[in-house]
Structure 1
Amino acid sequence: MNAKASASSLLSNRFVQVILMSTLFLQIGIWVRNIAILLYVKKMTHDDAFAVSMISVAEYAPIFVFSFVGGTFADRWRPKRTMVSCDLLSAASIVAILLAMMFGSWKIVFFATFVSSILSQFSQPAGLKLFKLHVPEHLLQKGMSAYQTLFAVFMIFGPVVGMYVYQTYGIETAISIMGIAFLLSAASLSFLPRDRKMDGEGEKARVWEDIKAGVRYIRSSVILRNLGGAFFAVGLGFGLIQPLSIFLITERLGRPESDLQWFSLINGIAMIIGGVAAMSFSSKVSPQKLLTFSMAAVGLTTAAMGLSTNYAVTLALQFFSGLVFPCVNIGINTLMMQNTEESFLGRVNGILSPLFTGSMVVTMMFSGIAKNAFSLVAVFILAGMFILAGVLALIPLFKVKGGLKAKAADLPDRV
């Protein structure tokens, strides 16, 4: 099958069409939330680096706490129903947040990020299961490329839209748009094929036993074990820089905070180019090679961005990092889906993700403190070193000759 035919087959897949539409609406809400809450908290706390870093903690801490449970129940529950229910609950939470803002503290805005992050731990693995069920395996990596390209588009338009909404209409309108976006996403998901009955549905919850079965499943696969090591190391690096990008612009480069949208613009353009390019060559490159090269490039550019004091050089580094970054997500998701049986996919995602997010949350909590105690440059260099350490965990995968599928013949689907 040639590349053109493969791309046509991918985009004609009903599931791919629906999931991209749902993602479109969710990205609108998420970017409005991210930018509006960032600027609002920065304003209310008078540029407090610790308060800004707590926004990211509110987003990522629930991933560590709820990912185990969310992934386990994703293997039990019907995926379409799970995704729609999570979107509707997210929209309902927005109403409660708006009411609380009318009568309470402005700090309730942290709760908007917190709730949507919790619900995403049930929705995300359900989406991966639908990908596994409805997209042919030879199109999985191209499907992930299309998915990441849509994210890249919002790297361009998301910050601009978020800043415009907040500066023009205020935080209440921005949060309201989040709620509308969740409702539109739920409406889009209603066009998915009807769920089939899931194995284990209706059984009494035995969450701990299911989690242990998932751990044994991961231990039986060399590729999943090493992927977990890479997750942990990269999470340490990303957590350090995640809350501090705006300070790279305002302090290191001496630019106004509004330049954040232009950095996101150049990064988004690069991600679109990288995502489209990945769609064309992804079938020719193994996911482990794709992931290793892209992680190494991101690690080096992260350290270099911290060292740079030249605006043009930093923009160029941002562009190159954005160019290869889609391959990180494409490689991770493709490796996980290709090497995990459908009945274990939720649990594998639910166990591996906390390795990344848990380490990320830890360094996020200390990123503002580290910046104040040492320097912004030192933080970015250390982050780059952590990411490069994650590359070392992937090198053994190049020695694996076939048989990458996790072997779980002796592991029951239910313990």
Structure 2
Amino acid sequence: MSNPAVSKKSPGILSNPFIRTAMLSHMMLQIGIWVRNFSVLLYVTERTDQDPVAVSLISVAEFAPIFIFSFIGGTFADRWRPKRTMVGCDLLSAFSVCAVLLTLAFEVWEAVYFATFVSAVLSQFSQPSMMKLFKRQVPPEQQQGAMAMTQTLTGVFMVLGPAMGGAIYGAFGIEASLGFTGAAFLASALILLRLPKDDAPASAGGQRRRFSAELGDGFRYVLRNKVLRTLSITFAMVGLSSGIANTLGIFVVTDLLGKPESFVQYFQMANGAAVLAGGISVAFLAKKMSPPQMLLLALAFDAAALIGMGYSTITGLTLALNAVAGFFFPVIQVAISTMMIRWTEGAFMGRVGGVMMPMFTGTMVLMMAVSGPLLHVFSLGTMAIISGAFMLAGGMLQFAIMKERAPSSAQQGPASPTSSAV
């Protein structure tokens, strides 16, 4: 007689109400972000007659908060109630868009930078809060699959987002585009109200430590943890490689392939479609490989693709290599996110994210700044080899943690399968 406990199927990922709510909120945020980003880009480009400085300030408004607020946001995320933090951040993002709409009525067009900046600042508080809830509400066996679903959804909007943002702006203008963005952020906040009620903060009954002490604890926690320490260096290597690759893209199209600059859109479309395919496929890879193995595989393929694109003069081959790089992008994201969750205790989740994210963004922006001048010294092929070498070095680091197992103290699943939603 068969044992019913053995034959019973494990529940699917979408049977978890937290995952369903998180995915729906993520979808609304992606809609709002893509519509905002493209409408602001097109608006600033038209308003300033394609002034490169004005256009570049959009990236400054988007990336600067990561350096300034990531450490702070991660520490406060560990202090505050995560659900309340995320709902509050989405509401403030929606209100900031409304404020920008009011200023546009007075012809203060520069206020569009404010919408991007405020949203980027608030994301440094809401993202680590979501990671904390993810660790608390999602069982370890579902975490990698849920991360894959998130990356698949991100891939969908990498394909559809630019077209959606451009269409709304082209048809209705900047005011309607920002109004649509605010509505999407507000919808996300309302959806998040369905999440389980926050637990009381751990320090509610005791004396809270100084902010600087808790911030320092986050750095020390990462340095003492072999896996997290290795991941931090991997993040930096991937950032250095990505910074070079982002700069080389336009020159690969114009110099190696002899195509006009407008041909870049086909590269973006191919890359977005590949990211979508990779997001779907990573769920199958996750069943066969451990996160360090997935990360090693993805970084090795990306390194080869980057080097190949630096030398290829055949359009079809370059597009294929670009698609390979896009395909493994979600694999990298899922592997790193899964390891962060599995090897980090819940009390440090926000601070670990706050320490590690600037490692990637900082090195990427640094290399984007110096890659242009370096192209006057080195050839495209040499720069591609340097980019690939950074990516491969990040992959080789995974051999040091290939046999590591997540500590039991960090393996935290749902507190209760019947958590009440509010």
Q: CA deviation at 1:135?
A: 0.5
Determine the structure 2 residue equivalent to 1:76.
79
- Deviation string 1:122-157 (CA, Å, 9 cap, x unpaired) is 000000011101110111111111111111111211
Cα distance in 1 for partners of 2:375, 2:30 equals 30
Cα distance in 1 for partners of 2:362, 2:356 equals 10
Identity over aligned pairs, percent? 45
Determine the structure 1 residue equivalent to 2:352.
348
- Deviation string 1:312-352 (CA, Å, 9 cap, x unpaired) is 22221222112111110000000110001111111111111
User: Which deviates the most, 161-170 or 222-231?
Assistant: 161-170
2:292 to 283, 288, 310: 288
Cα distance in 1 for partners of 2:58, 2:313 equals 27
Determine the structure 2 residue equivalent to 1:216.
220
User: Which deviates the most, 14-23 or 186-195?
Assistant: 186-195
The one-letter code of the counterpart of 1:28 is I
Is the Cα contact below 8 Å between 1:221 and 1:407 reproduced in 2?
no
Cα distance in 2 for partners of 1:377, 1:36 equals 35
The alpha-carbon distance between structure 1 residues 14 and 239, as it changes in their structure 2 partners (threshold 3 A), is: same
Is the Cα contact below 8 Å between 1:217 and 1:406 reproduced in 2?
no
* 3-state SS in 1 of match to 2:198: coil
Cα distance in 1 for partners of 2:44, 2:314 equals 28
TM-score by length of 2: 0.86
Determine the structure 2 residue equivalent to 1:413.
none
TM-score by length of 1: 0.87
The alpha-carbon distance between structure 1 residues 31 and 224, as it changes in their structure 2 partners (threshold 3 A), is: same
1:236 to 237, 240, 250: 240
Cα distance in 2 for partners of 1:90, 1:180 equals 10
Q: Is 1:101 matched up with 2:108? A: no
Q: Which runs of 5+ in 2 are unaligned?
A: 411-422
1:301-380 correspondence runs (5 A):
301-367=305-371, 380=384
2:401 to 393, 397, 402: 397
1:128 to 125, 128, 131: 131
Q: Is 1:88 matched up with 2:99? A: no
The alpha-carbon distance between structure 1 residues 118 and 246, as it changes in their structure 2 partners (threshold 3 A), is: farther
Q: Which runs of 5+ in 1 are unaligned?
A: 409-415
1:207 to 201, 207, 211: 211
User: Which deviates the most, 54-63 or 12-21?
Assistant: 54-63
Determine the structure 2 residue equivalent to 1:177.
180
* RMSD of equivalent CA atoms: 2.9
Q: Give the number of aligned pairs.
A: 404
The alpha-carbon distance between structure 1 residues 38 and 135, as it changes in their structure 2 partners (threshold 3 A), is: same
Cα distance in 1 for partners of 2:101, 2:270 equals 34
Cα distance in 2 for partners of 1:108, 1:383 equals 36
